[in-house]
Amino acid sequence: MKDPQAMPVLEVRGLRATVGDGVEILKGVDLLVKAGEVHAIMGPNGSGKSTLSKVLAGHPDYTVTAGEVIFRDRELLAMPAEERARAGLFLGFQYPVEIPGVANSQFMRLAYNSVQTARGGEELDPLEFDDLVRERMKYLEMDPAFLERSVNEGFSGGEKKRNEILQMALLDPTVALLDETDSGLDIDALRIVAGGINRLRREDNAVVLVTHYQRLLNYVIPDYVHVFDDGHIVRTGDKFLALELEERGYDWITAPAAANSAQAQAR
Amino acid sequence: MSMPPPVAQDDAQDDTRDEARNEARDANTSAPPAAYRTSVLDSQRALAGSPAAWVNQLRREALEQAHVLSLPTRQDEDWRFTDLSALYRLAFKAASAPAAVVAQAIDPYRIAEAPQRLVFIDGVYAPELSEGPSGEGLTVCSLAQVIAEPSHRLHETVRAHLGTLAPASGGAFAAINTAYLHHGAVLHVARNQAQLTPSHLLFITTREGLASYPRVLVIAEGGSQCHVVEDHVSLHQGAACVNAVTEVHIETNAQVRHARIQRDSRSSFHIARCAVSVARDARYESVSIDLGARLSRLDLSVRQEAPGVHIALDGLALVGNGQLADTHSFIDHAAANGASRQLHKTILSGASHAVFNGRILVRPGAQHTDSAQQSRNLLTSGRARVDAKPQLEIHADDVKCAHGATVGQIDQGELFYLLSRGIAPEAARNLLTYGFAADIINRLGVASLAQRLRQQVLEQTDRAGSPS
Ligand SMILES: Nc1ncnc2c1ncn2[C@@H]1O[C@H](COP(=O)(O)OP(=O)(O)OP(=O)(O)O)[C@@H](O)[C@H]1O
Ligand SMILES: [Mg+2]
């Protein structure tokens, strides 16, 4: 769905970020996402993929030390986390958080109404929201019993991921960053979740999939595949790059990158 | 004899974190417990003699104990953090006649799921407000009635059990309670009978200056099951004093669920002892919730008498400005193959104080004990203070015991999750505080009561979360 005329929705330029006592994890990330596109980010464990998505969502553990991010014509990094979400950024967590004592429906209605209010839409009362959420759950083949349970508490890995996509379906983001939403899904669940993602795709929104496997990309076809290593994108290609990675692993791409950074350190 | 009206002389102290200053002030201003003892026992003489000689005997012995046992002060290790001097400065007398309470006044406290309800007004049994037939094998009735009728089916059973788990010799407050022994609730479930719907014991205080002495005796015979809700509420804002004693006997293979709700007025004092004995292969599950009182103290002790017992204790104390909630629990694994699980949570706002002392004793021979204890404390104010202490004493070698205590603010990971969904920081904090409490409330197993308590928590945490 590459369209040269499409509007950029997310533009990351030279993003650097550190964690804790100054360890640099993101080392200059550049990424341009336009409306209607699907991007896949792949790369070795620990290379910084989740850190990138969390930094974009506004996680307080990380400090941005350089670069800028333009999200729908706004300076994303100047916005607090909740405002990023209201403006249309969604992060599907690699490890969704459990919140004992808070019912899933209660949480989702508050989120929905917070976002709706900010966008000038209508708030829903519990009954109206119940209708909406049940309808969305149908597409994801989720049991309505999950509404009454505490947020993610005791959910299986796959159930948590489905619950993330349910939230995405409710919050209707412009850019969805889905961090390993496919990990831990069985074959049927993968198909259902991919169907859910595809259903939400439009010309005016975009999806960034962080994944380790080609599988998901058979259902949600990426326009770009990026290889992430050592805190930045080391190669960008089309969907065939994912197939090649599946076959050859990362060494052939990352080894030179590692050599480069070793050189840089030596200097 | 007329009593001076109670006067609170001491407002919420917000320097509770300054130990040294506290000690110094206590030394100067501690009220002498002796005066309190005299005044609190004064109305005991007005108590009419019981028709049962054994009750008079119990009272007499208890009165002696009440005179000789020392009233706790902060010099006592078990009361190190809980200063009763404000209580000792006040005078309370027991209600001689029941106050008239109209049925509508208790409407907010009715529990739809509970077919049986016993109501006590300022400690006095109120038959006109109580209802519900005793069901199949289940007897829920007035202690005074059982005592008054020597021919009552449960008379001898009650006589054999009353005061055995929480004897007057066990402490000054239990002794004072027993010296006033008269009104109370008996819940008895016969062998192999399962009564899963809750029985509601509602203890209401109606005005300040009164002391009440709730007394509960639960006996679950072998193989039986029951669910008791002990509920302490106030219809006033003043300072009353509730001194409650509950004894729970769980015989072989029986199961008891026990909910204990304390929502007395924010000026009141609530001092409670609950002693439980759990026989072979039996089960005790309790949920204790403290929302009210200026000062509350619960001593909960559960003894595993024989192998194969399961004990689950959940607790929640929600304290705001000027409140102190103290829970001392004691799980005594005196036999093998016992499992215990405990989760105690506190939420503090304003200048408040929560104390948790969770003692677990694994006696020699209590092999294969599996015990897990968690104390989790949520501070929403810099002026609040928590003293949480797990106390494990293990005298057997083949056991699994885990414990942990956390004191802190809202979990940053949970907060970020909510923010990342567009929820405003204040609403997110309130929701997480609410969830922290609801996690315990949801274990009550009484939907309508849980719903009401969650609502109360929501109101309280909204207030706590908003800047004042
Ligand atoms: N909060 C943190 N504190 C300390 N180190 C962190 C923190 N967050 C990330 N890191 C470190 O940063 C590096 C990148 O982590 P990140 O989770 O972004 O990797 P990833 O590419 O998502 O890996 P995976 O494929 O395993 O999910 C890792 O070495 C990780 O240990
Ligand atoms: Mg990751």
Closest CA to A56 of A17, A19, A27, A20: A17
Taking alpha carbons only, the member of A66, A83, A80, A90 closest to residue A10 is: A90
Q: Residue B122: helix, strand or coil by DSSP?
A: coil
B241, two tokens: 């004093």
Please indicate whether, in this complex, the C-beta atoms of A82 and B425 are within 8 angstroms of each other.
yes
| A80:B419 CB<8 A | yes
Question: What ipTM is given for this predicted complex?
Answer: 0.94
3-state secondary structure of A111: helix
Beta-sheet strand order (sheet of B124-125): B124-125, B116-121, B194-205, B225-234, B255-263, B283-290, B310-319, B339-348, B370-379, B400-408
What's the whole-model pTM score? 0.89
What is d(CA B11, CA B13) in angstroms, rounded to the nearest whole number? 6
Mapped onto helix, strand or coil, the DSSP state of residue B366 is coil
> What kind and span of H or E run contains B334?
none
Interface test with B, best of A108, A110, A113 (most B CBs within 10 A): A110
> Are B12 and B321 within 8 A, CB to CB?
yes
Summarised one tens digit per residue, pLDDT across range B409-429 is 999 999 999 999 999 999 999
Spatial separation of the C-alpha atoms in residues A133 and A110, rounded to whole Å = 12
Whether B439 sits inside 8 A of A101 (CB atoms) is yes
Residues with CB under 6 A from ligand 1: A 19-20, 25, 45-51, 61, 94
Confidence of residue A253 (pLDDT cuts 50, 70, 90): confident
What single string gives the DSSP state of each residue in B231-248? Answer: EEEESSSS--EEEEEEEE
Q: How far apart are CA B177 and CA B245, in angstroms?
A: 7
Summary mean pLDDT of chain B: 91
Show the 3-state SS of B250-319: ECCCCEEEEEEEEECCCCCEEEEEEEEEECCCCEEEEEEEECCCCEEEEEEEEEECCCCCEEEEEEEEEE
Residue B354 near residue B295 (C-beta atoms within 8 A):
no
Half-sphere exposure of A240 (CA within 13 A, CB side): 0
Maximum Cα–Cα distance for chain A, whole Å?
A: 64
Q: Please state whether beta strands B124-125 and B116-121 pair in parallel, antiparallel, or not at all (unpaired).
A: antiparallel
A113 touches B at CB < 8 Å:
no
Taking CA atoms only, the protein residue closest to ligand 1 atom 17 is A50
pLDDT tens-place values along chain B, 468 residues long:
344 443 333 333 333 333 333 344 444 445 568 888 998 998 898 899 999 999 999 999 999 999 999 999 999 999 999 999 999 999 898 887 778 888 999 999 999 999 999 999 999 999 999 997 776 799 999 999 999 999 999 999 999 999 999 999 999 999 999 999 999 999 999 999 999 999 999 999 999 999 999 999 999 999 999 999 999 999 999 999 999 999 999 999 999 999 999 999 999 999 999 999 999 999 999 999 999 999 999 999 999 999 999 999 999 999 999 999 999 999 999 999 999 999 999 999 999 999 999 999 999 999 999 999 999 999 999 999 999 999 999 999 999 999 999 999 999 999 999 999 999 999 999 999 999 999 999 999 999 999 999 999 988 876 554 433
The residue extents of the domains of chain B are 22-306
Q: Sort B25 into a burial class: Cβ within 10 Å, 0-12 / 13-18 / 19+.
A: middle
Q: Is A128 on the interface with B (CB under 8 A)?
A: no
- Span B203-249, pLDDT tens digits: 999 999 999 999 999 999 999 999 999 999 999 999 999 999 999 99
Best residue for ligand 1 mutational test, from A18, A19, A232 (most atoms within 8 Å of Cβ): A19
Q: DSSP labels for B144-158?
A: HHHHH-TTSTTHHHH
CB contact under 8 A, B419 and A81: yes
CATH of A8-96+175-266, one of 3.30.43.10, 3.40.640.10, 3.40.50.300, 3.40.50.720: 3.40.50.300
Ligand 2 centre distance from Cα of residue A54 (Å): 10
Beta strands A74-75 and B310-319, pairing class: unpaired
Question: What does the DSSP assignment read for B383-406?
Answer: T-EEEEEEEEEE--SS-EEEEEEE
